[in-house]
């Protein structure tokens, strides 16, 4: 059995939630110590989220479902057996990444008109972390149905594999830290401009080496804020040929095969292509399950054979379970 | 409340950031007076050949508008054998670059066949395809009566829709494209019903190769393009090396205009007979009716030429807005080229839109 405390802002007042979770049980029990009113409320929650009962009152299913979900989610973040772990022991997490936002694409090989639309991302992330080192591998796929100002349709998909390693390089106690490292993102961004060219796929595929910087700062009541920037500095870049504006790919070679976007790689530096990724994530302090919420901004630009601009901005949720 | 405000701010931030990727002008208001080059064309001012500047300005304004003719690239007007109007709305370099002209290729196939026909490689258009390619036919005898005339008038009866033609023939790399086509089912008896398809011209390209021992592209290069001074071109072929008879030829806009002017002159270019005038007359005369029977856009079909009774005109038309429009009674040739792979229902230029654009030049209903 473990017993821990953490801070959470409920409505406008600071509360302390204390809970206990018997090992092997699905049930969470806890108490909310309502500081502002010096009152003491008891909370009982089940993972099934069908009922949250308070001392003296009861949240009815349906009416308070959203509240129950948030409380249960926050409970489950910390609902783990406390382990006596030294800072050098690696903590391994595996989880899912979900996001939604807006994607904007402009492929000047076809027409310099931007195509915009809702973009959705789904993936997984594996991380191993010690007190001074962190390894992360993120695998995501995203999709976006797009339209331009004339309502011409297009579709985009992106496949991304982003392994990265960072190491703490500066620390001001527990409140502020700076981590630095490298990432090796592989990104396949495909664009099908159905209205403008229904015979070809367009793409920007990059295998790059990026420098990574992370700034961690603790936030009262919320845990940590992590600001991370990935900046590719050199990489292999693949783009379609520039003759499609007037000429079809040889018919006995053209296809929509998966391998097609990976041909004809050129070595380019940051002057030839730019692909920064900026994340601002809020992560409640926890040594168990990790929940992160935040914003992600990904810009991609390559100037050859003609400019392509891709900007994805999204709200991101990352939820990871501790696996060892 | 704070959470709602925070989410609203975040959403606003996302939308604002994404607005950073802006549209750039994709059409240019370039010059429209042709330059005198050493390429066989004589240029003239529109007024010198009786065309009003006002009507050309009106056409030009519509042509370069960004919310119309999305995929258009070039527009040329030839009157009385002189180039009087020439504009490139996407890239000025398009004047000197060849581009896929899609099904305008069919009309060039007709001209190439006319050259071969005048050299008596074929006795008559009643000759059957079976007599030329007997080894390619299935044992079933239903297709053995398909004649060359049936192929020219899109009446072979072979059911092979254009939506799947390229994919099945070229991408899937069928082992023998001719056998593949000839094994397709029939939609009608040969010679019965017009149905616009790519497979008939492609069978004709195979027939040319078998009859003469040389591909259609070789015939075109030596006997059609060379006399017209056309050197910079590209012609797709299938994995058997056979020129694509239905589409896949790439030409420069000025070279398309040369072909149009040569046809207007009954096969003569700069005093030299390139294609037999009898073939020009026969191939550009209506040979069959089509499904386009709504005025004013009634169209007949010759031998791979559209016939437009509205203007007593003929037209080579290719997907997306590639055209050679020839109006003999006004000594007028109009050429338009467009991006070749656009969706016709959304971005591509349809023939009726093009006809509406240039109708002030032609007049009539």
Here the ipTM equals: 0.87
B114-118 average pLDDT score = 95
More confident of the two residues B310 and A68: B310
Residue B314 is predicted with a pLDDT of 96
**Residue A47 — pLDDT band, cuts 50, 70, 90?**
very low
Residue of B nearest to A148 (CA): B23
B248 touching A (Cβ < 8 Å): yes
Q: Tell me: domain A91-322, CATH 1.10.510.10, correct?
A: no
Measure B341 CA to nearest chain A CA, in Å. 5
A296-302 average pLDDT score = 94
Residue A22 has pLDDT above 70, yes or no: no
- Tell me the per-residue pLDDT of A158-187, one tens digit each, with 9 for 90 and over: 999 999 999 999 988 778 999 999 999 999
**Residue A260 — pLDDT band, cuts 50, 70, 90?**
low
Tokens of residue A18, six digits: 């204390």
Residue A204 is predicted with a pLDDT of 93
Least confident residue range of A232-236, A291-295, B285-289, B335-339? A291-295
Least confident residue range of B157-166, B185-194, B324-333? B157-166
**Residue B128 — pLDDT band, cuts 50, 70, 90?**
very high
Indicate the residue of B10, B244, B250 with minimum beta-carbon distance to A315. B10
Tokens of residue A60, six digits: 């009815």
Residue A113 is predicted with a pLDDT of 94
B312-339 average pLDDT score = 95
Which residues from B are below 8 Å from A195, CB to CB?
A: 342-343, 346-347
Nearest to B142 by CA among B160, B124, B128: B128
Question: Strand B82-88 to strand B42-43: parallel, antiparallel, or no bridges (unpaired)?
Answer: parallel
CA A257 vs. chain centroid, Å, equals 28
Residue B1 is predicted with a pLDDT of 58
- Tell me the per-residue pLDDT of B249-279, one tens digit each, with 9 for 90 and over: 999 999 999 999 999 999 999 999 999 999 9
Residue B14 resides in a domain: no
Residue A26 has pLDDT above 70, yes or no: no
Question: What does the alpha-carbon distance between residue B284 and residue B126 come to, in Å, rounded to a whole number?
Answer: 18
Q: Is B24 helix (H, G, I), strand (E, B) or coil?
A: coil
Q: With contact defined as beta carbons under 8 Å apart, do A67 and A43 qualify? A: no
Q: With contact defined as beta carbons under 8 Å apart, do B186 and B163 qualify? A: no
Residue of B nearest to A111 (CA): B26
Residue of A nearest to B14 (CA): A313
B238 touching A (Cβ < 8 Å): yes
Residue B201 resides in a domain: yes
Please indicate whether, in this complex, the C-beta atoms of A246 and B20 are within 8 angstroms of each other: no
More confident of the two residues A294 and A8: A294
Residue B35 resides in a domain: no
Q: What are phi and psi of B266, to 5 degrees?
A: 60, 40
In chain B, the N- to C-terminal Cα span, in Å, equals: 66
Residue B174 is predicted with a pLDDT of 62
Q: Is A123 helix (H, G, I), strand (E, B) or coil?
A: strand
Residue B159 resides in a domain: yes
Question: What does the alpha-carbon distance between residue A207 and residue A273 come to, in Å, rounded to a whole number?
Answer: 11
Residue A57 has pLDDT above 80, yes or no: no
Residue B295 is predicted with a pLDDT of 77
Residue A262 is predicted with a pLDDT of 67
Question: What does the alpha-carbon distance between residue B260 and residue B284 come to, in Å, rounded to a whole number?
Answer: 12
In the stretch 163-192 of chain A, residues with CB closer than 8 A to chain B read none
**Residue B18 — pLDDT band, cuts 50, 70, 90?**
confident
- Tell me the per-residue pLDDT of A60-113, one tens digit each, with 9 for 90 and over: 444 444 454 445 444 444 443 334 445 557 888 899 999 999 999 999 999 999
Preferred mutation among A241, A312, A313 to probe B, highest tally of B CBs within 10 A: A313
Please indicate whether, in this complex, the C-beta atoms of B342 and A297 are within 8 angstroms of each other: no
Domain count, chain B: 1
What is the CATH number for B210? 1.20.58
* Packed helices B53-64 and B351-362: angle between N→C axes, nearest 10 degrees: 160
Distances from the Cα of B90 to the Cαs of A149, B61, B63, in angstroms? 18, 14, 11
Residue A52 pairs in a beta bridge with A45, A59
Residue A115 is predicted with a pLDDT of 95
Residue B171 is predicted with a pLDDT of 65
Residue A29 pairs in a beta bridge with A20, A44
Q: Quick one: which H or E segment has residue A232?
A: strand A223-238
Q: Quick one: which H or E segment has residue B179?
A: helix B177-182
Preferred mutation among A244, A252, A260, A316 to probe B, highest tally of B CBs within 10 A: A252
CA dihedral for B338, A154, A210, A256, sign (positive or negative): negative
- Average pLDDT of the residues of chain A: 75
Tokens of residue B21, six digits: 């990727």
Residue of A nearest to B68 (CA): A150
List, as one string, the DSSP characters of B75-141: EEEEETTEEEEEEESS-GGGGGS-EE-TTHHHHHHHHHHHHHHHTTSSS-TTSBSTTT-GGGS-SSG
Exposure on the CB side of residue B358, measured as CA atoms within 13 A: 25
Residue A49 is predicted with a pLDDT of 32
Measure B316 CA to nearest chain A CA, in Å. 18
Q: With contact defined as beta carbons under 8 Å apart, do A153 and A146 qualify? A: yes
Residue B166 is predicted with a pLDDT of 77
Residue B30 is predicted with a pLDDT of 87
Q: With contact defined as beta carbons under 8 Å apart, do A90 and A16 qualify? A: no
List, as one string, the DSSP characters of A141-198: EEEEEEE-TT--EEEEEEEEEEEEEEEEEEEETTTEEEEEEEE--EEEEEEE-TTT-T
Residue B137 resides in a domain: yes
Please indicate whether, in this complex, the C-beta atoms of B13 and A295 are within 8 angstroms of each other: yes
Preferred mutation among B6, B16, B24 to probe A, highest tally of A CBs within 10 A: B24
Residue B195 resides in a domain: yes
Measure B140 CA to nearest chain A CA, in Å. 29
Q: With contact defined as beta carbons under 8 Å apart, do B103 and B319 qualify? A: yes
Please indicate whether, in this complex, the C-beta atoms of B23 and A112 are within 8 angstroms of each other: yes
Indicate the residue of A105, A247, A313 with minimum beta-carbon distance to B234. A247
Residue A96 is predicted with a pLDDT of 94
**Residue A247 — pLDDT band, cuts 50, 70, 90?**
confident
Tokens of residue B224, six digits: 């059609």
Question: What does the alpha-carbon distance between residue B299 and residue B319 come to, in Å, rounded to a whole number?
Answer: 16
**Residue A282 — pLDDT band, cuts 50, 70, 90?**
confident
* Packed helices B253-264 and B104-118: angle between N→C axes, nearest 10 degrees: 50
- Average pLDDT of the residues of chain B: 90
Tokens of residue B327, six digits: 């109006």
A235 touching B (Cβ < 8 Å): no
Place of tokens 């604002």: B16
Residue B365 has pLDDT above 50, yes or no: no
Residue A32 has pLDDT above 60, yes or no: no
In the stretch 6-45 of chain B, residues with CB closer than 8 A to chain A read 10, 13-15, 17-18, 20-26
Q: With contact defined as beta carbons under 8 Å apart, do A24 and A2 qualify? A: no
Question: What does the alpha-carbon distance between residue A95 and residue A290 come to, in Å, rounded to a whole number?
Answer: 9
Residue B6 is predicted with a pLDDT of 66
In the stretch 196-225 of chain A, residues with CB closer than 8 A to chain B read 196-200
Residue A253 is predicted with a pLDDT of 47
Question: What does the alpha-carbon distance between residue B145 and residue B128 come to, in Å, rounded to a whole number?
Answer: 6
Indicate the residue of A104, A200, A246 with minimum beta-carbon distance to B21. A104
Question: What does the alpha-carbon distance between residue B148 and residue A83 come to, in Å, rounded to a whole number?
Answer: 86
Question: What does the alpha-carbon distance between residue B259 and residue B267 come to, in Å, rounded to a whole number?
Answer: 9
Give the contacts of A128 (CB within 8 A, at least 6 positions apart): A90, A91, A92, A93, A134, A135
Residue of B nearest to A116 (CA): B18
B73-94 average pLDDT score = 94
Residue B347 is predicted with a pLDDT of 87
Question: What does the alpha-carbon distance between residue B227 and residue B274 come to, in Å, rounded to a whole number?
Answer: 7
What residue ranges do the domains of chain A occupy? 3-77, 91-322
Identify which of A18-27, A74-83, A263-272 has the greatest average pLDDT.
A263-272
% residues pLDDT > 70 (chain A): 67
Residue B321 resides in a domain: no
Residue A209 is predicted with a pLDDT of 96
| H helical segments located in B193-269 | 199-212, 216-219, 226-228, 253-264
Preferred mutation among B2, B8, B14, B98 to probe A, highest tally of A CBs within 10 A: B14
Q: Which domain holds residue B126?
A: 108-222
**Residue B87 — pLDDT band, cuts 50, 70, 90?**
very high
């Amino acid at each position: 059995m473990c017993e821990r405390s953490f801070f959470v802002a409920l409505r406008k007042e600071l509360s302390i939630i204390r809970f206990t979770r018997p090992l092997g049980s699905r049930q969470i029990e806890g108490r909310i110590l309502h500081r502002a009113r010096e009152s003491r409320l008891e909370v009982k929650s089940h993972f099934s989220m069908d009922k949250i009962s308070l001392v003296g009152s009861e949240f009815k299913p349906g009416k308070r479902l959203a509240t129950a979900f948030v409380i249960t989610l926050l409970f489950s973040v910390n609902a783990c057996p406390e382990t006596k772990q030294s800072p050098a022991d690696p903590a391994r997490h595996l989880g899912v990444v979900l996001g939604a936002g807006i994607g904007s694409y402009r492929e000047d090989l076809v027409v310099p008109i931007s195509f915009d639309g809702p973009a959705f991302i789904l993936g997984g992330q594996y991380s191993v972390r010690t007190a001074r080192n962190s390894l992360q591998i993120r695998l995501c796929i995203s999709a976006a149905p797009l339209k331009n100002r004339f309502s011409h349709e297009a579709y985009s998909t992106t496949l991304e594999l982003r392994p990265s390693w960072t190491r703490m390089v500066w620390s001001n106690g527990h409140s502020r830290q700076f981590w630095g490292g490298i990432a090796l993102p592989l990104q396949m961004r495909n664009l099908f401009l159905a209205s403008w060219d229904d015979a070809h796929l367009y793409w920007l595929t990059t295998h790059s080496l990026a420098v990574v910087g992370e700034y961690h700062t603790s936030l009262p009541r919320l845990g940590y804020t992590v600001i991370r920037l990935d900046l590719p500095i050199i990489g292999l870049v693949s783009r379609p040929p520039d003759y499609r504006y007037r000429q079809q790919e040889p018919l006995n070679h053209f296809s929509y095969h998966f391998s097609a976007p990976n041909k004809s790689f050129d070595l380019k530096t940051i002057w030839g292509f730019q692909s920064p990724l900026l994340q601002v994530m809020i992560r409640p302090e926890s040594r168990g399950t990790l929940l992160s919420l935040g914003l992600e901004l990904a810009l991609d630009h390559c100037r050859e054979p003609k400019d392509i601009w891709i900007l994805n901005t999204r709200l991101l949720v990352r939820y990871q379970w501790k696996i060892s | 409340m704070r959470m709602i405000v925070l989410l609203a701010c975040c959403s606003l931030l996302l939308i604002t950031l994404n607005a950073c990727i802006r549209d750039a002008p994709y059409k240019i208001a370039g010059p429209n007076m042709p330059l005198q080059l050493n390429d066989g064309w004589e240029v003239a001012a529109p007024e010198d050949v009786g065309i009003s500047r006002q009507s050309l300005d009106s056409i030009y304004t519509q042509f370069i508008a960004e919310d119309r003719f999305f995929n258009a690239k070039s527009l040329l007007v030839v009157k009385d054998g002189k180039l009087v109007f020439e504009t490139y709305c996407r890239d000025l370099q398009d004047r000197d670059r060849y581009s896929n002209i899609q099904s305008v290729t069919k009309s060039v196939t007709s001209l190439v066949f006319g050259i071969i026909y005048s050299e008596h490689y074929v006795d008559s258009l009643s000759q059957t395809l079976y007599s030329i390619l007997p080894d390619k036919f299935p044992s079933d005898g239903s297709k053995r009566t398909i004649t060359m005339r049936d192929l020219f008038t899109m009446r072979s009866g072979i059911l092979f829709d254009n939506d799947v033609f390229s994919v099945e023939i070229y991408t899937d790399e069928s082992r023998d494209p001719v056998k593949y086509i000839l094994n397709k089912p029939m939609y009608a008896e040969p010679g019965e019903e017009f149905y616009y398809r790519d497979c008939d011209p492609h069978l004709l390209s195979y027939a040319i190769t078998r009859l003469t021992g040389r591909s259609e592209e070789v015939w075109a290069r030596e006997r059609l393009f060379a006399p017209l001074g056309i050197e910079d071109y590209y012609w797709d072929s299938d994995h058997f090396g056979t020129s694509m008879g239905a589409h896949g030829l790439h030409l420069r806009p000025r070279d398309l205009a040369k072909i149009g002017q040569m046809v207007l002159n009954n096969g003569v270019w700069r005093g030299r007979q390139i294609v037999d005038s009898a073939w020009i007359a026969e191939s550009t005369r209506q040979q069959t009716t089509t499904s386009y029977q709504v005025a004013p856009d009634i169209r007949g079909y010759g031998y791979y030429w559209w016939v437009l009774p509205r203007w007593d005109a003929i037209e080579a038309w290719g997907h997306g807005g590639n055209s050679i429009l020839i109006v003999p009674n006004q000594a007028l040739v109009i050429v338009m080229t467009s991006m070749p792979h656009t969706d016709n229902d959304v971005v591509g230029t349809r023939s009726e839109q093009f006809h509406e654009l240039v109708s002030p030049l032609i007049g009539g209903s």
